[in-house]
Amino acid sequence: MTEPASTDGFGNDMGWGARPLLLVIDVTRAFTEADRPLGSDGTALVSAVNRLVGAARSGGVPIMFTRVAYDRPDLSDAGLWARKIGTLGDLVDGGAGVEMDPRLDCTPTDPVLTKKYASCFFGTDLASRLTSAGIDTLVVAGLSTSGCVRATVVDAIQLGFRPIVVEDAVADRWQDAHRQSLADMAAKYADLTSVDAAVERLAS
Catalytic site positions? 148
What distance in Å separates the CA atoms of residue 113 and residue 103, rounded to the nearest whole number?
19
Q: Please name the residues in contact with 29: beta carbons below 8 A apart, sequence gap of 6 or more.
A: 36, 39, 96, 97, 98, 99, 100, 101, 102
> Residue 188: enclosing H or E segment and its boundaries?
helix 175-188
Tell me the residue length of the chain. 204
What distance in Å separates the CA atoms of residue 141 and residue 123, rounded to the nearest whole number?
20
Q: What is the DSSP string of 53-95?
A: HHHHHHHT--EEEEEE-BS-TT-GGGTTHHHHSTTGGGGBTTS
CA 156 to chain centre: 11
Cβ neighbour number for residue 178 with a 10 Å cutoff: 19
